[in-house]
């Protein structure tokens, strides 16, 4: 863990750089509030490929900055970004920003009396190449054709014209395992993510591979009257899609949900969440909100505290991350279908879905089932969860979710 430390941007330097930028940009735009953002990251990835037997490394540094500013005459926002970690890059930003028209916005804490925040993840630090190669050796079973593991650290700094710098330092670890033919056809890659390298070491991918198994023997017809249990991995995907659709900003509260649909947005520093932090990517304080209580939809995930930047190149937008499902726990149903894979294609108010499942608990395989799902019906028919909640790379923490058989029935 040596080279990454060298590349962490010194917080004082970053704050000074952004402050210089803001001073000049403010002069260009009169009294309009301006925000500067800077991000510096160092990442290291090791890749393994079964067909060649090669182990390759990828190491790099990326730095960039962005400015947003308000046009007070139009109550509108402009945004520009440039790579590079120093004043010259911000000068490029500033010259672009001065020449482009702004768009409306109501989500900047320009005048907020925000406190200066220093949000430093104590577990930052990237693993060495040897540690990552060792991880790959231990975790690539016969079902895996290729894989990578990555460690990254980042330092992010915000500063508005009002001052109050906010600094965030993070370390994250990711892994991907692409299945080969022995895993079955159509099986998607498995992604793992953790808040630190040491947390990634504690994850056991073998459980996820077992969850994804298609089942053995002759393919049977899917029973219409059995409860449906989604594996933790497919539950995370499905619940995040449902949250994006049914709890989007502006969604009206009050819609009925089943007893299992208990959803909370926990953008604050939740140890189980990959994306948690004390402030969002626009500088708003993060606060927990209950989005559904097992009876009704009670809220949405948008607004201040939910804004995220995909990279320094992108302006912050509301994103449903750091969500947690806390349904009442159920005993495994005696007669149910265990869904190991789901493909969803939104089509108007329904989703065209392909489901792969097996009989629970004996594992007998069912034929893939195509079905048109109604998101609101899925919410209404969510009964509970099985097992402990697991985090995922999608920002959704959930156990295996149980749905009534009616959830898949078409009108």
Partner 1 sequence: MAASAGYPGVSHTVWAGACVERPGRSLVFHSALLPEQLESLVTGELPESGAPSGHPELAVDPGPAVGVISGAIVEAQKRLPRGQFRARWVEFDQQVKIGRDGSVFGDRRSTRRFRLEGSLERGGRTATAVAERVVQSDNNYISSLVDETIERLEARLDAAPPVPGPTTVVFAPAIGGIWAHELVGHAAEADLVAQGSWLTPDIGGAHPGLTVIDDPRRARAAWNVDDEGTPARPVALFHEGRARERLHSCRTASDSGAKTTGHGRRGSYREPVLPRMGCTFIANGTDDPNEILQKVHEGIYVRRMESAHTDPTTGRAVFRVTDADRIVCGKLAEPLRLHLLETVGGKALAAIEGIGNDLAFDRCIGSCHRKGQPLSTSVGAPTFCTGLMTVRF
Instruction: Tell me phi and psi for residue 136, to 5 degrees.
Output: -60, -45
* Least distance from partner 1 to the Cβ atom of residue 50, Å: 9
Binding mask 329-368 for partner 1 (x = CB under 8 A): --------------x-x-xx---x-x--------------
Residues 369-408 that bind partner 1 (CB under 8 A): 370, 372
In order of 103, 259, 295, 336, the CA distances from 384 in angstroms are 43, 7, 12, 14
Interaction of residue 310 with partner 1, rule CB under 8 A? no
Distance, in Å, from the CA atom of 269 to the CA atom of 47, rounded to the nearest integer, reads: 31
Looking at beta carbons only, is 221 or 370 nearer to partner 1? Answer: 370
Interaction of residue 409 with partner 1, rule CB under 8 A? no
Distance, in Å, from the CA atom of 79 to the CA atom of 293, rounded to the nearest integer, reads: 38
Strands of 195-261 (E only): list them: 216-220, 227-230
Joined tokens for residue 236? 């995370």
Looking at beta carbons only, is 183 or 402 nearer to partner 1? Answer: 183
Interaction of residue 302 with partner 1, rule CB under 8 A? no
* Least distance from partner 1 to the Cβ atom of residue 191, Å: 11
Distance, in Å, from the CA atom of 260 to the CA atom of 265, rounded to the nearest integer, reads: 16
Which helix (H) or strand (E) element contains residue 330?
none
Distance, in Å, from the CA atom of 331 to the CA atom of 312, rounded to the nearest integer, reads: 45
* Least distance from partner 1 to the Cβ atom of residue 117, Å: 25
Residues 40-79 that bind partner 1 (CB under 8 A): 42, 51-52, 54, 56-64, 74, 76-79
Question: Which of 166, 256, 242, 274 minimizes the C-alpha distance to 401?
Answer: 242
| From candidates 5, 115, 138, 186, binder to partner 1 by CB under 8 A | 186
State whether the Cα torsion 375-376-382-385 is positive or negative: positive
Binding mask 89-108 for partner 1 (x = CB under 8 A): x--x---xx-xxxxxx----
Strands of 210-349 (E only): list them: 216-220, 227-230, 262-265, 289-293, 307-308, 317-318, 323-325, 336-347
Residues 128-157 that bind partner 1 (CB under 8 A): 145
Number of residues counted as binding partner 1 (CB under 8 A): 55
| From candidates 2, 106, 185, 252, binder to partner 1 by CB under 8 A | 185
* Least distance from partner 1 to the Cβ atom of residue 84, Å: 3
- Chain positions contacting partner 1, by CB under 8 A: 3, 6-7, 42, 51-52, 54, 56-64, 74, 76-89, 92, 96-97, 99-104, 145, 181, 185-186, 313-315, 343, 345, 347-348, 352, 354, 370, 372
């Amino acid at each position: 863990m040596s080279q990454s430390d060298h590349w962490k941007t010194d917080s004082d330097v970053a704050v000074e750089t952004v402050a210089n930028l803001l001073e000049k940009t403010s002069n260009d735009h009169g009294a309009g509030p301006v925000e500067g953002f800077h991000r510096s990251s160092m990442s290291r990835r090791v890749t393994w490929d079964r067909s060649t037997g090669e182990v390759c490394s990828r190491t790099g540094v990326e730095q960039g900055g962005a400015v947003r500013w308000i046009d007070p005459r139009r109550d509108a926002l402009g945004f520009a970004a440039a790579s590079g970690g120093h004043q010259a890059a911000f000068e490029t930003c500033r010259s672009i920003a001065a020449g482009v028209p702004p768009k409306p916005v109501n989500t900047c804490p320009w005048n907020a009396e925000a406190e200066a925040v220093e949000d430093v993840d104590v577990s930052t630090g990237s693993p060495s190449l040897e540690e990552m190669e060792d991880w790959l050796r231990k975790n690539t079973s016969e079902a895996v054709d290729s894989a990578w593991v990555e460690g990254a650290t980042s330092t992010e700094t915000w500063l508005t014209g009002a001052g109050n710098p906010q600094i965030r330092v993070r370390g994250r670890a990711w892994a991907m395992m692409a299945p080969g033919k022995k895993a079955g056809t159509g099986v998607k890659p498995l992604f793992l993510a953790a808040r630190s390298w040491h947390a990634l070491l504690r994850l056991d991918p073998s459980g996820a591979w077992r969850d994804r198994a298609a089942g053995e023997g002759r393919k049977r017809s899917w029973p219409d009257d059995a409860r449906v249990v989604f594996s933790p991995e497919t539950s995370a995907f499905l619940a995040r899609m449902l949250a994006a659709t049914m709890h989007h900003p502006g969604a009206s509260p009050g819609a009925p949900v089943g007893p299992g649909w208990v959803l909370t947005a926990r953008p604050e520093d939740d140890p189980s969440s990959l994306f948690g932090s004390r402030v969002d990517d626009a500088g708003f304080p993060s606060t927990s909100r209950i989005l559904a209580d097992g009876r009704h939809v009670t809220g949405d995930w948008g607004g201040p505290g939910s804004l995220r930047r995909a990279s320094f190149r992108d302006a912050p937008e509301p994103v449903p991350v750091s969500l947690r499902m806390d349904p009442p726990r159920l005993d495994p149903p005696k007669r149910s279908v265990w869904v190991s894979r789901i493909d969803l294609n939104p089509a108007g108010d329904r989703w065209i879905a392909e489901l792969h499942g097996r009989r629970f608990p004996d594992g007998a395989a069912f034929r893939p089932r195509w079905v048109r799902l109604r998101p609101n019906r899925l919410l209404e028919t969510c009964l509970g969860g099985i097992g402990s909640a697991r985090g995922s790379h999608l920002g959704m923490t959930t156990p295996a979710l149980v749905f009534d058989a009616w959830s898949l029935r078409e009108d």
